[in-house]
Amino acid sequence: MTTSAVVNGQFVPEFAAYTKLTLVNRFQNEMKGFSSLSQSKNSMTFEQFMNALENNKPVHQSLARHTSPEEVADNITYQQQNGASIFARERFEAIQKAYHLGLVDLDGVLSI
C-alpha cells in the first residue's frame, strides 16, 4: 500500500476515502446544522490513515462498527455520479475498513 496521495499522476482511492472522511463529512455535518466535537478537533493525517489501514488492527475499539447507512447512501450517489469503477470500489472498501477499525468517530469523521 502506498502512502502517497498521487501515483502516476492520479489520486489513489485511499486518498479519495480520506478526503471523504475528513473534509466532505465535516462539511456535510455543518450543512445539516450539526454541531459536533469533530468540527474543532484534528483528524489523523493521510499517512496515519494509510498506516492504520495497512496495520489492519482496531485503533478505537469503542468506535469499531459497520459502515453507517449514511455512508452507504453517499457511496450509491458517488457511484451514480462517477460510475461503478474499480477506483470507486476501492475507495468505498477503504471507507468500510476505516469504520471497521474504529477510525471514524460518531460524526463520520476520521479520529486520531
Give 11-30 pLDDT, tens digit per residue. Answer: 899 999 999 999 889 888 88
Which domain does 46 fall in, by range? Answer: 21-100
What is the average pLDDT value for the chain, to the nearest integer? Answer: 89
* In a domain? residue 26: yes
d(CA 70, CA 59): 22
Q: What percent of the chain has pLDDT over 70?
A: 90
* In a domain? residue 107: no
pTM for the predicted model, two decimal places: 0.88
* In a domain? residue 93: yes
* In a domain? residue 16: no
How many structural domains does the chain have? 1
